[in-house]
Structure 1
Amino acid sequence: MKPRPIAFLPPVIWLVLIYMLLTLPGSDIPKVNFLDAIYFDKWVHTGLFAMLVFLFCWPFRKQYPMQHSLFISITVFAVVYGIALEYVQKYFASDRSFDISDMIADAFGSLLGYMAIRYVARKIAEKNKPL
């Protein structure tokens, strides 16, 4: 069964939200020393990109074994999107900078999202397996 187009509204909204958050002027982001100490920024990047992959894969969850390569493609897209956003920050966003550790956090989050949706899809496939 093919996913309905409306199923892609949440991931597209999330994609736009990520863009908006990661291109906010640096001066608009409050500085809190405690959050810097626990690398809060990296955790945010990880969570944003994990959810991005999960949401884009979710409409295909019931077709899991056949859609495995699609899940991987979505994950690669998310990693490339994270890298591209770092360049956007470097060249176009005010008071933002290029940060390789943000790219690593984005890639790590994308991988976590892939692992999460794969786990969920596998459980759904096992549950729906004919006896």
Structure 2
Amino acid sequence: MLKRWWPAALWAAIIFVLCSIPGKDIPSAGWMHAVSLDKWVHFVMFAVLSILVLHGLRRSSGRDEYWPFQWWWVGLVVLYGALTEGYQHWFLEDRYADVYDFVANTLGALVGTWIYHRYHHLYYRRVESGKTF
């Protein structure tokens, strides 16, 4: 059971470590503010986390049985995004909570969910037709 969840747990730990880096130690570049690279990083981190969580859920519960529970798990990914922002605000000296980071986290989790389902829909359609990748 745990081996199915270790990628998601490892990625959540990586997110926690990255969110713990003091603000003064994060490289800053003039172009970074123009393209909001920070928001894209949050978006990608949480998209990957939701994909890994749904993959663990699917492998734990079987092919179609996970569907009713997926939104609870995506909700937990969003909650984790909120908790990382709170952690930065209350426990780190050089960091602060940013509502736009939370929005990027949430959108990343939702888009990651869409990507996961899109991929699996295409994959299982190919498997059922007898084609392989």
Please report the TM-score for the alignment, with normalisation by the length of structure 2.
0.87
Alpha-carbon distance change, 39 to 130 in structure 1, aligned in 2, over 3 angstroms:
closer
Aligned ranges for residues 11-90 of structure 1 at < 5 Å?
11-59=8-56, 60=58, 63-90=62-89
Looking at structure 2, the residues matched to 43 and 130 of structure 1 have their Cα atoms a distance apart, in angstroms, of 37
Displacement of 1:55 in angstroms is 0.7
Whether the 8 Å contact between 1:45 and 1:105 is mirrored in structure 2 is yes
Q: Which amino acid aligns with 1:100?
A: V
Q: Give structure 1 stretches of 5+ with no counterpart.
A: none
C-alpha RMSD over aligned residues: 2.0
Q: Give structure 2 stretches of 5+ with no counterpart.
A: none
Which deviations, in whole Å up to 9, do the C-alpha atoms of 1:46-91 show, x marking residues without a partner? 0000000101111316944321122212211111110111111110
Number of aligned residue pairs: 128
Alpha-carbon distance change, 105 to 40 in structure 1, aligned in 2, over 3 angstroms:
same
Whether the 8 Å contact between 1:79 and 1:107 is mirrored in structure 2 is yes
Please say which of residues 42-51 and 27-36 is displaced more in the overlay.
Answer: 27-36
Q: Which amino acid aligns with 1:7?
A: R
Which deviations, in whole Å up to 9, do the C-alpha atoms of 1:102-125 show, x marking residues without a partner? 000000000011101111222233
Displacement of 1:23 in angstroms is 1.7
Which stretches of structure 1, 4 residues or longer, exceed 3 Å deviation after superposition?
A: 61-65, 127-131
1:98 corresponding residue in structure 2: 97
Looking at structure 2, the residues matched to 53 and 78 of structure 1 have their Cα atoms a distance apart, in angstroms, of 6
